[in-house]
């Protein structure tokens, strides 16, 4: 909450100012990793299996990848994702791409790390719907291929645990980054990488104040220690027309996590990397286009009516944040003899 308050103060007091060239940051080629979970090939291999594993959902058809599709933009282009039994989730799935650069996870920041996040959806009744982690671990242990993969990643012994599950998934997710966007190429010196309009939009993005929150390499705020969180009240400026149209304030955001009144309607500042691919926009997915999202942000976060030209220019710039997606080999999921799902 310190962050929310601090940022809000800076925004109100400091006003808008252009970012100097030195402050435009490129996306690193490698994500930061916590000291207690270094990224290793064996962990990434296991995490990839688990991430694409539908058999750890109640009905055996929902995996992490169902809603955060790494074959696409890392989300599902929905306002609410579809969990087991066709249940529709309450918030729009954030992209998994570059999530390693968030210092907290989920729209409300309730997970202080990728590891903590990975423990959420599997046993969420509306998402993967497993009754308990005991049930998940039992299913994994029923598949010898997983016992082997956990041993390779975490050593022999009783290593098929929820903590190691989370570590492996997080290790895989730390490989899901998209460097070398046109923006990155431009910042590195290739001035032909952006169009004139995109350069104009980049400057406008800084001048009107977007960059005060959407700063840093991932455009999700300053680089903070994992677990810190960078939040902003949304909407910051109430606007009856916007509210009537998009219903933003129905969701109390981080308040529901902390119970702290200052957190009401506060949300994690999301990355803008690949934002052109992840419509619809905002926590409730009510805004269908990037143009409209830019207009909305001007209204409710900056209290400004951006001109059509500014909106178009900023949108063009945001399109330059689409990066290069790494080639990923499909995992081989453990197959097992003489077993019928759900292996009971």
Give the residues lining the site for its own copies (CB under 8 A).
52, 54, 59-62, 66, 69-73, 76-79, 82, 85-86, 276-277, 279-280, 285, 288-291, 319, 325, 327-341
Q: How far is the CB of 274 from its own copies (least distance, A)?
A: 8
The per-residue b/e assignment along 77-99, b for 16 or more CB within 10 angstroms, e otherwise, is: eebbbbbbeebebebbbbbbbbb
Q: Least distance from C-beta 41 to its own copies, angstroms?
A: 15
Residue whose entry in the numeric block shows the structure tokens 């100097």: 20
- Give min distance, CB of 66 to its own copies, in A: 6
Report in angstroms how near the CB of residue 342 gets to its own copies at its nearest: 9
- Tell the burial category of 331 from Cβ atoms under 10 Å away from its Cβ (0-12, 13-18, 19+): middle
Q: Tell me: cis bond preceding 320? Omega within 30 of 0 counts.
A: no
Alpha-carbon dihedral sign for residues 89, 93, 99, 101: negative
Would you say 294 and 314 are in contact if contact means Cβ atoms under 8 Å apart?
yes
- The CB-side HSE value for 303 (13 A sphere, CA atoms) comes to 7
SS3 5: helix
261 vs 329, beta carbon nearer its own copies: 329
C-alpha to C-alpha distances, 275 to 77, 132, 264, nearest whole angstrom: 11, 34, 25
Residue 117 Cβ vs its own copies, minimum distance, rounded to whole Å: 21
Q: Which is nearer to its own copies, 256 or 324 (CB)?
A: 324
- Known catalytic residue: 261? no
- Beta partners for 267? 232
- Reading the block at residue 314, the tokens are 């900023």
The C-alpha atoms of residue 115 and residue 50 are separated, in whole angstroms, by 13
Catalytic-role residue among 53, 115, 127, 226: 127
| Secondary element (H or E) of residue 266 | strand 266-268
* Residue number with CB closer to its own copies (245 or 332): 332
- Residues carrying an active site annotation: 127
């Amino acid at each position: 909450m310190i962050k929310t308050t601090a940022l809000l103060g800076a925004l109100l007091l400091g006003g808008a100012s252009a970012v100097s060239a030195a402050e435009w940051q490129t996306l690193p080629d490698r994500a930061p990793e916590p000291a207690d979970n270094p990224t290793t090939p064996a962990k990434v291999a296991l995490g990839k299996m688990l991430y694409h594993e539908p058999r750890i959902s109640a009905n055996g058809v929902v995996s992490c990848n169902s809603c955060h599709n790494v074959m696409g933009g890392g989300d599902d282009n929905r306002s609410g994702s579809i969990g087991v039994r066709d249940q529709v989730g309450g918030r729009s799935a954030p992209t998994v791409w570059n999530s390693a650069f968030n210092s907290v996870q989920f729209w409300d920041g309730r997970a202080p790390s990728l590891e903590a996040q990975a423990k959420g959806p599997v046993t969420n009744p509306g998402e993967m719907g497993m009754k308990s982690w005991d049930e998940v671990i039992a299913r994994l242990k029923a598949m010898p291929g997983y016992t082997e993969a956990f041993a390779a990643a975490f050593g022999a012994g009783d290593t098929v645990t929820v903590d190691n599950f989370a570590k492996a998934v997080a290790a895989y997710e730390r490989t899901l980054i998209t460097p070398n966007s046109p923006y990155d190429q431009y910042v590195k010196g290739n001035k032909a990488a952006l169009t004139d309009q995109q350069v104009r939009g980049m400057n406008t993005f800084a001048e009107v104040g977007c960059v005060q929150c959407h700063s840093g390499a991932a455009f999700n705020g300053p680089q903070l220690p994992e677990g810190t969180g960078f939040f902003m009240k949304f909407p910051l400026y109430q606007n009856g027309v916007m509210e009537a149209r998009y219903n933003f304030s129905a969701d109390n955001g981080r308040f529901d996590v902390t119970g702290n009144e200052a957190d009401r309607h506060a949300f994690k500042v999301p990355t803008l990397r690949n934002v052109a691919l992840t419509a619809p926009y905002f926590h409730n997915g009510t805004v269908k286009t990037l143009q409209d999202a830019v207009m909305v942000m001007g209204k409710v976060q900056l209290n400004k009516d951006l001109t059509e030209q500014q909106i178009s220019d900023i949108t063009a710039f945001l399109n330059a944040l689409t990066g290069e997606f790494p080639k990923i080999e499909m995992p081989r999921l453990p197959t097992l003899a003489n077993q019928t799902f759900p292996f009971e």
